[in-house]
A and B are shown apart, each in its own frame.
Chain A
Amino acid sequence: MTTTEPTPTLLHRLRGPATLAALLAAALLLLPQLLEPFRLNLLAQYLCYAIVALGIALAWGRGGMLTLGQGVYFGLGAYAMAMHLTLQATAADPLAPDLPPFMVWSGLTQLPWFWRPFTSPAVAVLAAILIPGTLAALLGWSVFRRRVRGAYFAILNQALAAAFVILLIGQQHLTGGSNGLTNFPVFAGQSLYTPTAQTTLYTLTVLTLTATYLLFRHITHSRYGKLLIAVRDAEDRVRYLGHNPTWIKTLAYTLAAMAAGAAGALFVPIMGIISPTLIGVIPSIMMVLAVAIGGRHSLAGAAAGAIIMNTAQTTFAETFAGGWTYLQGALFVLVIALAPQGLAGLATTLKNRLTRPTPTEPDPAPAPAAERSTP
């Protein structure tokens, strides 16, 4: 028997990048022309959730860490950006006092210390990514070092999401409470309410999604990516290869949190509001649910799952308001029961059936002989 090394042909190797380029071109050139501003804005929101989904696919799909609290990291990114936009709005309004209105109503006379750095847009953007990253790294390191995993880790994440919401609501004078933060007319001197601004935000989201996808794709193809799978399937065995699972898991968890933070920061100017109801326990579960339906083992599947689920949610909510929740539940049960690998798994099965109808058929595109390795 010869070594059955997969040697992709040039056509095969170009298919991935070509698909990506076509999708990117369609998203950037075609969709802004075709969709009315309202729909484009909605799509931009879904793409933000797709960025979160990529992180979940890395941490959960590859690394086996059920991240049931991504709303926290999404929220931290979102609030970092929202704080900056709130301060901008206050500064732009000549009639308003120096404080955001909700602080004035709460009786504050001075801007709280931790709000001050957020007057700078650069600080806000960096904080939106680095604060979730740092929190996830600290939490991950301490938890994975003690070998907390599985359901305990998932519950811990849920508790974190619940605690975060309680903190936001409880500290109304500092965070805007359950109303959240809203009314963001300007960013870096530009009005956010014009169609051009919205198209720019959409473009930025598409590019962030693409960059995150490419980065995570590279990671899954590295040795580290294989180690992540190894840790997911047999963590203890990995120790006896001389690797330390603690840092392997912490890194994936941190990257997922940073992606969620970036998505949150993009989401705020697009959506125009951030509040605890958008980032709590239920939204966190929805983020994981979308990945389960799209296919957690595939980055593209996870991102597609987030876009499909959110599109479906809007479409169905427009037609029959209450019914969506039930349909979503039914869909989840169906996917778990019939296609545990999600839509991406279904697609792979289908493709395999179509491309390999008869195993005796000769190789349709034989690779150059020189490229084949010999045992």
Chain B
Amino acid sequence: MSLLTLTDLTVTFGPFTALDHIDLTIDEGELRFLIGPNGAGKTTLIDTITGRTRPTHGTITFDGTDITRTPEHRIVRHGIGRTFQTSVVFEELTVIENVDLAASSHLTPWRLLRRAPTTPPDALAVLDRVDLTHLAHRPAATLSHGQRQWLEIAMLLAQKPRLLLLDEPVAGMNAEERTRTGELLTHIAHDHTIVVIEHDMDFLRRYAHQVTVLHEGRILTHGDITTVQNDPQVREVYLGRTTPQKATT
């Protein structure tokens, strides 16, 4: 069953066409990787789905509801969560407070105004999932880069979304952190639909099953990782240019 459907989606910035008549369907329970060279429109696609950028043309349907013109925070409440390329966490708040705020968007203003519990159990459970429990009461500003990314994923999970959009979750991470993130993703994918933008080919080979390739605002091809890797068109526009180790694969 399709969860997210993009129909004829077009985004232009002045004379520049960022997304060019995109048709894309994400099924419930899928783990989809989105790749493409710089400027292919990957981030614009996520921005458009989440309401940050408004499409010039076309519609976005999520779970049967048209969300093309819905305000950002309402799209989130419909069940679409996202992370950003450069992680943004609230540095002055503690780790658990960050997660707690993400978990509380359904509360009424009146309940938000009540005294907050120091250790909300829901937030703690989510922190446990990304293995940050031991840092719960540290200010988020003290986290390392990798920990910030996991905190963002924790904040995302706390929203209880049905669809997660992750923008380069392993960028800037070391090998060990990448492996941890990959395992985390595989784990989360059991009960969530996930779309991941990723550049890192090694990471893709290890964790990606279904891959969609974007190029100059259009969908170039779609398929499983081996098919996509061996597609001559893909090699030309993307793999050939960015990964010198393609000869070995």
Binding site for B on A (CB under 8 A): 1-6, 218-219, 221-227, 229-230, 233-234, 236-244, 247, 251, 373, 375
Contacts and interface: CB of A to CB of B under 8 A. Distances in A.
B114 interface: yes
Given A222-B113, A223-B116, A226-B97, A242 B137 contact: no
Contacts of B100: 223, 226
B91 A375 contact: no
A9 B76 CA distance: 40
B114 A234 contact: no
Contact of B137 (A6, A240, A241): A6
Nearest to A297: B92
B134 A244 contact: no
Nearest to A373: B119
A53 B143 CA distance: 34
Contacts of B119: 5, 373
Interface residues of B, number: 39
Contacts of B105: 241-243
B118 interface: yes
Contacts, number: 96
Given A222-B113, A243-B73, 12 more contacts: A1-B134, A5-B119, A5-B136, A6-B118, A221-B116, A222-B116, A223-B101, A224-B112, A240-B73, A240-B76, A241-B155, A373-B119
A227 B113 contact: no
B134 A240 contact: no
B116 A3 contact: no
Given A240-B72, A241-B102, A243-B105, A3 B115 contact: no
B233 interface: no
Given A222-B112, A241-B155, A251-B109, A375 B133 contact: yes
A244 B91 contact: no
A227 B101 contact: yes
6 contacts: A229-B92, A239-B73, A240-B81, A243-B73, A243-B101, A375-B134
Nearest to B165: A240
Interface string B59-98: 0000000000001110011000110100010111100010
B101 A230 contact: yes
B50 A240 contact: yes
A226 B118 contact: no
Q: Which 8 A-B residue pairings sit nearest by Cβ, starting from the closest? A: A242-B105, A242-B76, A239-B72, A224-B112, A223-B116, A237-B88, A230-B90, A5-B137
A225 B104 CA distance: 13
A223 B102 CA distance: 11
Contacts of A2: 134
A230 B93 contact: yes
Contact of B112 (A223, A234, A238): A223
Nearest to B114: A222
Given A224-B113, A242-B159, A4 B137 contact: yes
B107 interface: yes
A26 B88 CA distance: 46
A270 B3 CA distance: 65
A218 B82 contact: no
Interface in B121-145: 133-134, 136-138
Nearest to A247: B109
B159 A241 contact: yes
Contacts of A3: 133-134, 136-137
